[in-house]
Amino acid sequence: MKTLIQKIHLEEHQSFASRSYRTPDFETNWHKHEEFELILLTEGYGTAMIGDYIGEYKPGDIFFIAGNLPHWFKKQHHKMTGCSVVIHFNQYIFGTEFLQLPELRSIQQLLGKNDGIQLQSKLQKDIATVILEMEGIKGFHRIALLLQCLQKIGTTQQYITLTQNFSSNNHHINPAIEKIIDFSFKRYLTPITLQQVAEVAEMSIPTFCRFFKKNIKKTYFDFIQDLRISHACKLLTNTDKPVMEICYESGYNSWAHFSKQFKEVKKMPPSQYRRESAL
């Protein structure tokens, strides 16, 4: 089983990486790296897993991910093209004294967090323009644009915090996690028992439950619930299917159960989510 600790390659003349990833290079399973990541999704739809957060992603979305925060952008269909423009930089790229300048306090605070966030509104559009520009330039202007991005993110509230203080201090991620997540993505729209997934992990049920909670910071069935609700959100946003039909297509056999869990996760009924997504 391949390692899930990703090594970010830097060109000799660069202090940080800025490049496009397109299928098949876009496909990177549950992984982490020490660098912070600013990612603009440009093609493909699917599920974003960032720390203990699970939700949909679509073209135009931008996520800012702290260093060593595990994540995975999984395409909706394996034949779909996935593409993104990604900025990778070390937390200490500017040293320590530089960020002590009072004018840079917002950047210092931003890089001191272990959060995953999703940009919103005008901030998302502004940062997308800078990310696309950054990929094609060299020299001092690259650093200036990176500082500009971080300053804009650090001085606005136009983002959603997806996960906070997700602890991932291990130097290695157990490869069983990748097997479990891969199995779950293939089966989450059908009934799954703990016995089935514990066998995939080659563990007893109690050991599996402790192992999964320790690594993903939620129970396995909460994880499956998030996958199903994320799938329902994609259908509500991208199709005109009736809500009741979406309920059953998302792995639920009870409208009451689906409605209750949807409200718990999204803080609103499915019909309201559809209306607000269309705005």
pLDDT at 252: 95
CA angle 261, 266, 267 (to 5 degrees): 90
Alpha-carbon gap, residue 178 to 271, rounded angstroms: 34
What is the residue type of 250? S
Same domain flag for 132 and 90: yes
pTM of the full structure: 0.80
Most confident among 9-23, 102-116, 161-175 (mean pLDDT): 102-116
Would 236 be classed as within a structural domain?
yes
- Number of Cβ atoms within 10 Å of the Cβ of 77: 10
Domain limit, last residue, from 134, 163, 192: 163
Nearest in space to 59 (alpha carbons), one of 94, 34, 88, 22: 22
The answer to whether residue 130 is domain-embedded is yes
Under DSSP, the state recorded for 242 is -
Q: State residue 219's pLDDT score.
A: 94
Asked, for residue 171, whether it belongs to a domain, the answer is: no
Across residues 67-89, what is the average pLDDT?
89
Tell me what pLDDT residue 277 has: 82
From 105, 132, 163, give the residue that closes a domain.
Answer: 163
Q: How does residue 164 score in pLDDT terms, banded at 50, 70 and 90?
A: confident
Instruction: Tell me: do 26 and 159 sit in the same domain.
Output: yes
- The number of distinct structural domains making up the chain is 2
Answer yes or no: is 6 within a domain.
no
Judgement on whether residues 24 and 148 belong to the same structural domain of the protein: yes
Same domain, 35 and 97: yes
Please work out, in degrees rounded to the nearest 5, the angle formed at the alpha carbon of residue 188 by the alpha carbons of 182 and 189: 140
Residues 192 and 247 reside in one and the same domain: yes
Task: Say what the pLDDT of residue 2 is.
Answer: 39
Beta carbons of 85 and 19 less than 8 angstroms apart: yes
Q: What beta strand segments (E) does the chain contain?
A: 17-22, 36-43, 46-50, 53-57, 62-65, 71-75, 83-89, 116-119, 159-163
pLDDT beyond 70 at 168: no
**Model confidence at 126: pLDDT above 90:** yes
- With 90 as the cut, is the pLDDT of residue 125 above it? yes
Average pLDDT rounded to a whole number, residues 129-145:
90
CATH number at residue 262: 1.10.10.60
- pLDDT at residue 172, rounded to an integer: 55
Residues spanned by the domain of 144: 17-163
Look at residue 3 in the predicted model and tell me its pLDDT: 33
